């Protein structure tokens, strides 16, 4: 049976909970991720559970932590990027290269949580959600579990020039995580169902499905490259890429509601 961590707003500040009950007030995800795996497991088993966690959900990431992302890890993503881009060969090359595409997505304080609003850029004509399995990585690069991520992106800006990737990917309201973290081993993540639904005006406007087994690269491989020459003393979150890409006939609009279900963990965000 898997355990689930959630982060909540309280009158004393953000507080973590395990399986719906508050952990001791001093519990820090960053400090927990700095512990060896055995010690980390023992820490969660040791404390007495507190009161039911009834505070509003927050994004399950602390302010000093970082979210990074992998690109072009699904064949469908490679084909979509080739179709939209004026430099299609770069996506063909990175899909088959030994080295994956990795890029910074957001720091913790900039990340939106479950049911918090996401945004599209005002200077972009084509904007999409990207539903992604997100790995929770400890300070040594080990996989401790997963959460659901929305890598909101401007396809028109990235398609114009791949060097515009930071502007297409990194802006206010472009990163959402939640609603919590499922603690599990990497083996449990190999073949999770990933489902995307976008509702507009109460009607289903777009839907797509894939599975994490369609990711071309190993999850440990992606984590290994991220940690190869970069340290994360507070742990890190790693988006593993998207396999659901709406075509150019669809773009996000204010008022849309994006719902992502990965292995039964559901992240939902309205578009502001």
pLDDT of res. 90? 87
Tokens matching residue 196: 């995307």
Largest CA distance in the chain: 57
pLDDT, average across residues 184-210: 97
Q: Name the pLDDT band for 74 (thresholds 50, 70, 90).
A: very high
pLDDT of res. 218? 96
Q: Which of 58, 31, 51 is nearest to 147 (CA)?
A: 58
The C-alpha torsion from 54 through 57 and 63 to 65, rounded to 10°, is 110
pLDDT of res. 79? 61
Q: Name the pLDDT band for 1 (thresholds 50, 70, 90).
A: low
pLDDT of res. 198? 98
Cβ(134)–Cβ(252) under 8 Å?
no
Q: Which of 68, 76, 137 is nearest to 100 (CA)?
A: 68
Euclidean distance between the first and final Cα of the chain, in Å? 37
pLDDT, average across residues 90-99: 91
pLDDT of res. 84? 59
Cβ(85)–Cβ(91) under 8 Å?
yes
Q: Which of 215, 220, 204, 193 is nearest to 256 (CA)?
A: 204
pLDDT of res. 77? 63
* 28 C-beta neighbours (distance < 10 Å), count: 14
Handedness of CA 97, 208, 261, 62 (dihedral sign): positive
pLDDT in tens, 231-244: 999 999 999 999 99
pLDDT of res. 83? 58
Mean of the per-residue pLDDT values of the chain: 94
0.85 exceeded by pTM: yes
Strands 175-183 and 3-8: antiparallel
pLDDT of res. 134? 98
pLDDT at 23 over 80: yes
Cβ(237)–Cβ(61) under 8 Å?
yes
pLDDT, average across residues 13-25: 96
pLDDT in tens, 44-55: 997 677 999 999
């Amino acid at each position: 049976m898997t355990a689930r961590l959630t982060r909540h707003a309280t009158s004393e500040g953000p507080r973590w909970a395990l399986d719906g009950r508050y952990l001791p007030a001093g519990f820090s995800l960053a400090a927990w991720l700095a512990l060896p795996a055995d010690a980390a497991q023992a820490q969660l088993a040791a404390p007495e559970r507190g009161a039911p966690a009834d505070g509003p959900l927050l994004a399950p990431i602390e302010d000093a932590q970082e979210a990074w992302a992998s690109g072009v890890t699904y064949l469908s993503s490679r084909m979509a990027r080739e179709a939209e881009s004026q430099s299609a060969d770069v996506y063909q090359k990175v899909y088959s290269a030994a080295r994956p595409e990795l890029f910074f997505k957001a720091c913790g304080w900039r990340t939106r949580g479950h049911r918090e609003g996401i945004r599209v850029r005002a200077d972009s004509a084509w904007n999409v959600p990207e539903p992604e399995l997100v790995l929770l990585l400890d300070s040594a690069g080990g996989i401790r579990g997963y959460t659901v991520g929305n890598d909101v992106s401007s396809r028109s800006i990235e398609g114009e020039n791949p060097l515009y990737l930071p502007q297409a990917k990194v802006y206010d309201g472009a990163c959402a995580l939640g609603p919590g973290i499922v603690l599990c081993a990497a083996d449990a993540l190999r073949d999770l169902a990933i489902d995307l639904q976008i509702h507009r005006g109460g009607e289903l406007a777009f839907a797509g499905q894939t599975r994490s087994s369609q990711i071309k690269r190993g999850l440990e491989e992606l984590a290994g490259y991220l940690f190869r020459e970069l340290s994360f003393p507070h742990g890190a979150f790693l988006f593993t890429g998207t396999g659901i890409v709406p075509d150019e006939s669809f773009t996000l609009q204010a008022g849309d509601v994006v719902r992502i279900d990965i292995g039964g963990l559901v992240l939902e965000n309205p578009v502001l």
